[in-house]
Amino acid sequence: MAALELRAVSKTYRVGDREILAVDDLSLSAGDGEIIGLLGSSGCGKTTTLRAIAGFVQLTAGRIAIDGNDIHNLPPARRGVAMAFEGYALYPPLRIRENIGFSLLRERRPGGEIRRAVREIAALLDIEDILDHYPAFASAGQQQRTSLARALIRRAPLTLLDEPMSQLDPQLRAQVRTRVKEYLAAHRLSAVFVTHDQNEAISLADRIAVMEQGRLQQFGTVGELKNRPNNLFVAGFIGEPPMNLMAAEVEAGGARVKLLGETDNRAAAAVGELRLNGAAPALDAGRAHIGIRPHQVVLADDAPLRGRVISNQWLGDQSHVLVDLGGLRIVVVSAGRVRDLRKGENIGVNFPPDAVIFFSAKDGTALPRAGGHGGE
Amino acid sequence: MARLEIDRLAKAFGAATVFDGLDLHVERGETVAVYGRSGCGKSVLLSILSGALAADGGDLRIDGKSVIDAPPEARDVGMAFQNFALYPHMSAFDNIASPLRGQKKPAREIADKVQAVAALLKIDHVLAHSPQALSNGQRQRTSLARALVAEPAVLLLDDPLRNVDAKLRYEMRLEMPNLFRQFESAVIYVTQDSREAMALADRIAILHDGKFRQIGAPQEVYEFPCTAEVGQLLGDPAINLFACESAARDGALLVNPAGCEVNISGRYDLPAAGKYLAGVRPEDIDLAATPAPAPSADADGPARGIEAVVERITPANVRSLLVASTAAGETITVSLPELAAEQVAPKSRAWLSFPADKLLLFAADGGQLIRPNPPAGG
Amino acid sequence: MNSPAIMQTVFDKTRIADLLTTAGYALALTAVVLFFLFPIFWVLLMSFQTNADILRTPPSLFFSPTLSNYAAIFAGKMETSTGTQDITFLRNLGNSALLSSLSVLLALALGVPAAYAFARYQFRLGEDIAFTLLSFRFAPPLLVLLPMALYFGQLGLNDSYWSLVWVYQLIVLPLVLWIIRGYFEDINPDIEHAYRLDGNGWGATFLKIAIPLARPGIAAAALLAFIFAWNNFIFALVLASAAKQPVTVGALLFVTGSGIQYGYIAAATVLSVAPILALALFLQRHLVEGLSLGAVKG
């Protein structure tokens, strides 16, 4: 029920005489009812950002507004946000039931209404059977769901969740994600959550903000992040497995591209050549990085790029094949099963021109394609 | 003689039985993934194997010698912990060298071996650093190097990729089988990620309710789970299960899971009017925008589709997850390749069909797998 | 939308507010420090004044500093209005150092392994024993003093350093045990277990892993135990003769028939606080070092 806006938010911590820039000039805005995921590895600034929205972190610079009203100087209790903490932060002397209903009790809601609301949210998260237990006797997963329930029951204009499902089994996690998403949608609640697990971000969020070293790398839908990454970092981070990235030498006009090996190995000899039919960006001849998503690589016996199979793993619903193109390793994913490929076997791979993405060798930003073909 | 033999192992805490009668043999160089939900006893099993906990019954043999009463230091077991458990007051080098020092190896040999295993795991440039100065991925590799360096008879891995990020987890998943092949340990790999188990293991052992419910090659366990329960445990998303009945019509044997008729003549020889549990993996379901043609008597022909509404589409990696519901209220999970799923609109109508050659039948009571006939001419 | 100028004033306002907050903190902290350090400062000043200067009314911050108090203590001769008296303060200081050091060493030798056992192993009556040891801290020393004096007399243990060190364990051992136990419990058992798997017995694991990782706790416990032992008064008063008494008892000599010798007391206090202060500063490095840095949080 609220639109969130962060404008040029920065946070600097002082540790001794060092200054650590935890969040660096971050701007993003989320619409009413949108679920935003802050995704990044540990230390990327995502939790600091969440805590700044909640009001536990004083901004060094910038503003935070909910529905157009600045809130960054308000105390946490007056911001209209509910939060589930990574460490659960349950009240130990209260039963699970009382923990969940605590905020409603504080608002002096009638007892019958509180009981109904607690039952409903407990059913949603499958913790009905432990409502009369104390937190100390609940498992980590149950405590985490209790903390989640305590935040969701408030139906606050903005719900903040810090690693909300890290302690759940994979299958339970998938179920809880779906239910939480439906609950938020049913009540038109906005939410921001922090996670290091991209599967969680992908399945729970409407849009994802990828962060690294305090900076926002890209903010967009899953499709945008996967198919049109802003830079090398996002390309190498998103997707499981992430995009294959390699250094290349582009011929003037972009008709032909020489593959040089892994991105951090600048001395590599050319391992092969691609013909991209003018799909390459209009750059002068020279170095670039190129990327292709693993499931867009085509395994073909008659393909010009030749390599050796290093491993072939079947995961039940997909196969992952690691191919060595002579110093350059690429991962090929097939949604079916590649049964007959053995370790050491010689195989050809093909990069469909449409699937190849170019990045600047200088700063790693994505380059637009020639002729607007498939690009923005 | 297997490298590691677990023989009727039992453990209980007071009245609560963790497991009872576990049997598992792991060969030299073999990797067995012990897979189960949290709380299934995986960690307790590792603690017993490593000697941190005493078993209540059964035997444990390493290279034929019983070690059930041996202290941890006398077992020839290496272990990589989920939380890495590095020695914070020692450098990465000293961490990795620790098992060799425990064996009183000469300094020269220690330096060589540490260097070799560190190079293999690409951490040879950070050997002088303390654990605090390492990245999470480097800590994980250091802990793995420490477990491997002395080439123990048994290598225990406690969900070692749980605390590392996706990119590294993926790289390690592809590298680890090749790494283990260079050592001759019997590897026990504990995980609760079914894909990880499928990718890394030579065999998977499904631990559930105190027993190994099934032990077999990943393909075998995935394609022919011995019970419906095992089918549900292994696989992400989980297998669809529907109650169904068999019926004979025009000389063909049909079942009707979720109202979708499937001709199983040839695959199964079953009486008509029997009650079963039908299982079909989400990735095996065919989804079409238009109704499929009527079924022919031929078992290989396309099955009749059931109309359903696609409730939601969740993009996962490589594949997308669709949840569809039928008019009769059945919910069906379908997994489609990402590119195919992009063609399907949420809330649109679709026709789902279950291919007969992928359908599994389980007994209605007890859920035991009813083995299908081997495919003809195969 | 804000124009850049308005944004600028917003930032300036925040900056001024920040500055005020910082100044406020500084003031408050200074007040606290003054409040707590004032007695020490006052004693330090007193130690450089003669008794006459100290006792004049009204008191004044201005005086002519003198080293006579210190000189007398080092010379062992105290000048009072009734004459010269011998003082054994330096010997008391030596006794204090000896008694406290020996007590702490013995407490660590006994307490560290015991704390480890209580932290890592569950055994019959374990919690009861640990609590009983702690309860020694609750009992008023006077309760046990009289019977103990009698027993010590009969056993011929009165007036020996070792008997004092033994009795001091009542004060320092529970402290050492309970502080260090907490630190051992905080060490992730997986780290010790990993070391066992590396081929080391429990003894080596205790020495090479548990003790180094609990070092901040051991340092803190040792320091506290040293202070408690140093400050003990009643045991030494009853159980030791003048030759073996520590500074706390020795300071009684300054309460003379001709009045209380505040100047000497102040100088003696400064001298007796100095070793503890030095020890605390020396151990500070070990106290602040973090724990369990090799494991990730669960």
Question: Both B223 and B258 in a single domain?
Answer: no
- B112 part of a folded domain: yes
Question: Both C280 and C135 in a single domain?
Answer: yes
Calculate how close chain C gets to B195, using CA atoms only, in Å.
Answer: 22
- A332 part of a folded domain: yes
Whole-complex ipTM = 0.86
CB within 8 Å: B174 and A320: yes
Question: Both B175 and B296 in a single domain?
Answer: no
pLDDT at A269: 60
- Taking contacts as CB-CB distances below 8 angstroms, the residues of chain B near A316 are 194-195, 198, 218, 222, 234-236, 281, 283
How far apart (Å, rounded) are the C-alpha atoms in residues B258 and B255? 10
CB within 8 Å: A314 and B170: no
Q: Give which of B140, B174, B152 is closest to B29, Cα–Cα.
A: B152
Question: Both A162 and A52 in a single domain?
Answer: yes
Beta-ladder partners of B65: B62
DSSP A42-93: TTSSHHHHHHHHHTSS--SEEEEEETTEE-TTS-GGGTTEEEE-TT----TT
- C195 part of a folded domain: yes
Question: Both C59 and C201 in a single domain?
Answer: no
Give me the mean pLDDT over the B78-95 stretch.
94
**Which residue in the set B177, B236, B335 is minimally distant from A170, CB to CB?**
B236
Assign residue C97 the CATH number of its domain: 1.10.3720.10
- Please indicate if any CB of chain B lies within 8 Å of the CB of A277: no
pLDDT at C293: 36
Residue B304 has pLDDT above 70, yes or no: no
Residue A2 has pLDDT above 80, yes or no: no
Give me the mean pLDDT over the B144-149 stretch.
94
- A375 part of a folded domain: no
How far apart (Å, rounded) are the C-alpha atoms in residues B118 and B93? 9
Question: Both B38 and B186 in a single domain?
Answer: yes
Question: Both C129 and C276 in a single domain?
Answer: yes
**Which residue in the set B192, B199, B281 is minimally distant from A315, CB to CB?**
B199
Domain of B70, in residue numbers: 4-227
Q: Locate tokens 């907050």: which residue? A: C21
Give me the half-sphere count of Cα atoms (radius 13 Å) on the Cβ side of residue B355: 12
> Regarding beta strands B65-66 and B57-62, do their DSSP bridges make them parallel or antiparallel, or are they unpaired?
antiparallel
Report the first-to-last Cα separation within chain C, whole angstroms.
45
- A373 part of a folded domain: no
Q: Give which of C289, B195, C104, B111 is closest to A199, Cα–Cα.
A: B195
- A73 part of a folded domain: yes
- Taking contacts as CB-CB distances below 8 angstroms, the residues of chain B near C213 are 88-89
- C242 part of a folded domain: yes
Question: Both B127 and B92 in a single domain?
Answer: yes
How far apart (Å, rounded) are the C-alpha atoms in residues C85 and A349? 102
Question: Both B149 and B204 in a single domain?
Answer: yes
- C296 part of a folded domain: no
Assign residue B251 the CATH number of its domain: 2.40.50.140
Question: Both B205 and B344 in a single domain?
Answer: no
How far apart (Å, rounded) are the C-alpha atoms in residues B242 and B280? 9
Domain boundary among A170, A203, A231: A231
In terms of DSSP H, where are the helices of chain A? 46-54, 96-106, 111-124, 140-152, 170-186, 198-204, 222-227, 232-237
Assign residue B19 the CATH number of its domain: 3.40.50.300
Question: Both B211 and B74 in a single domain?
Answer: yes
Overall domain count for chain C: 2
Question: Both A158 and A38 in a single domain?
Answer: yes
Residue B86 has pLDDT above 70, yes or no: yes
Residues 87 through 116 of chain A touching chain B, CB cutoff 8 Å: none
Residues with Cβ < 8 Å from B161, sequence gap 6 or more? B140, B168, B169, B172, B173, B191, B193, B196
What residue of A is the nearest CA neighbor of B40?
A169
Domain of A164, in residue numbers: 4-231
Question: Both A53 and A173 in a single domain?
Answer: yes
Burial classification of residue A175, based on how many CB atoms lie within 10 Å of its CB (0-12 exposed, 13-18 middle, 19 or more buried)? middle
- C113 part of a folded domain: yes
% of residues, chain B, pLDDT over 90: 62
**Which residue in the set C195, C213, C295 is minimally distant from B98, CB to CB?**
C195
Overall domain count for chain A: 2
| Helix, strand, or coil (residue A109) | coil
Find out whether A189 and A159 touch, Cβ atoms under 8 Å. Answer: yes
Report the first-to-last Cα separation within chain B, whole angstroms.
34
> What are B244-286's pLDDT values in tens digits?
999 988 888 889 898 888 888 888 988 888 899 999 999 999 9
Find out whether B158 and B49 touch, Cβ atoms under 8 Å. Answer: no
Question: Both B328 and B256 in a single domain?
Answer: yes
pLDDT at A277: 66
| Helix, strand, or coil (residue A95) | coil
Domain boundary among A196, A231, A266: A231
CB within 8 Å: C196 and B101: no
- Please indicate if any CB of chain A lies within 8 Å of the CB of B36: no
- Crossing angle for the helix pair C89-120 and C68-75, nearest 10 degrees? 80
pLDDT category of residue A281 using cuts at 50, 70 and 90: low
Question: Both C63 and C10 in a single domain?
Answer: yes
pLDDT at C297: 32
pLDDT at B2: 82
Assign residue A212 the CATH number of its domain: 3.40.50.300
Average of per-residue pLDDT values in chain C: 83
- C297 part of a folded domain: no
> What are B188-230's pLDDT values in tens digits?
999 988 889 999 999 999 999 999 999 999 999 999 999 999 9
pLDDT category of residue C24 using cuts at 50, 70 and 90: very high
Question: Both C16 and C46 in a single domain?
Answer: yes
Domain of C35, in residue numbers: 5-74
CB within 8 Å: B314 and A320: no
Overall domain count for chain B: 2
Give me the mean pLDDT over the B151-180 stretch.
85
